[in-house]
């Protein structure tokens, strides 16, 4: 008896997967971002502790450096996993979300560094530091929305079974068609 094929699966060219290094960068970055959120500084006055300030500057610098490495590696060595037949709107939406994530993450790190440097130079209150803190908070909030959108899109592709999920996610793999 022939098995019934889902019409979504028919005539779709399967995208190639990402490299091991791309997956390592992706999931490693998820872990580092989660750690950064977990250990966040709730009050800028805590930066009076010079060891905490130094740690925050080193962490933000490393975060930004890793983000740049990830962006360059993905941009120049990896191809999108979206299938060839993907519509223009969906391709544009994917680019907007991905570039938005890079921009919001870079803004988080850069504004965090500026906050730390302003604090180190004695600028602990006023319009300048308040504005940079506002940018930092806005960037964090924006990143949450973009991450949620990214996860929803990944789950959407998992249910489409178009290979996008398998290209980056190591669990709950799509079954292979025979």
Structural domain spans, the chain: 18-168
Split at pLDDT 50, 70, 90, the class of 115 is: very high
Q: What is the pLDDT of residues 31-41, one digit of tens each?
A: 999 999 999 99
The residue with tokens 């909030």 is: 141
Whether residue 64 contacts residue 109, with contact meaning beta carbons closer than 8 Å, is answered with yes
Look at residue 130 and tell me whether its pLDDT is greater than 70. Answer: yes
d(CA 113, CA 59): 9
pLDDT at residue 104 in the model: 98
What is the DSSP secondary structure assignment for residue 15, as one 8-state letter? P
pLDDT at residue 17 in the model: 79
d(CA 146, CA 99): 10
Mean residue pLDDT of the chain comes to 89
pLDDT at residue 114 in the model: 97
d(CA 137, CA 131): 10
pLDDT at residue 171 in the model: 85
The residue with tokens 């544009």 is: 92
pLDDT at residue 156 in the model: 94
Report CA-CA distances (Å) from 3 to 57, 92, 161: 58, 35, 17
Report CA-CA distances (Å) from 175 to 9, 88, 159, 163: 11, 27, 11, 10
pLDDT at residue 5 in the model: 41
pLDDT at residue 158 in the model: 93
Whether residue 140 contacts residue 132, with contact meaning beta carbons closer than 8 Å, is answered with no
Q: What is the pLDDT of residues 55-65, one digit of tens each?
A: 999 999 999 99
Whether residue 170 contacts residue 23, with contact meaning beta carbons closer than 8 Å, is answered with yes
Split at pLDDT 50, 70, 90, the class of 145 is: very high
Report CA-CA distances (Å) from 15 to 49, 78, 138: 50, 12, 35
Look at residue 98 and tell me whether its pLDDT is greater than 60. Answer: yes
How confident is the model over 69-92, as a mean pLDDT? Answer: 94
pLDDT at residue 177 in the model: 58
């Amino acid at each position: 008896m022939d098995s019934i094929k889902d019409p979504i699966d028919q005539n779709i060219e399967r995208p190639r997967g990402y490299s091991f290094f791309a997956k390592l960068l992706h999931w490693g970055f998820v872990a580092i971002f989660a750690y950064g959120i977990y250990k966040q500084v709730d009050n800028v006055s805590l930066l009076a502790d010079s060891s905490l300030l130094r740690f925050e500057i080193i962490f933000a610098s490393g975060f930004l450096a890793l983000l740049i490495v990830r962006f360059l590696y993905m941009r120049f060595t990896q191809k999108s996993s979206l299938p060839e037949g993907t519509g223009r709107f969906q391709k544009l939406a994917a680019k907007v979300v991905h570039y938005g994530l890079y921009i919001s993450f870079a803004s988080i790190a850069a504004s965090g560094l500026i906050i730390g440097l302003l604090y180190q130079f004695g600028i602990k209150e006023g319009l300048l530091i308040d504005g940079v803190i506002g940018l930092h908070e806005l960037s964090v909030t924006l990143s949450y929305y973009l991450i949620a959108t990214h996860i929803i899109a990944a789950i959407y592709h998992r249910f489409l079974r178009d290979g996008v999920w398998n290209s980056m996610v190591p669990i709950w793999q799509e079954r292979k068609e025979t």
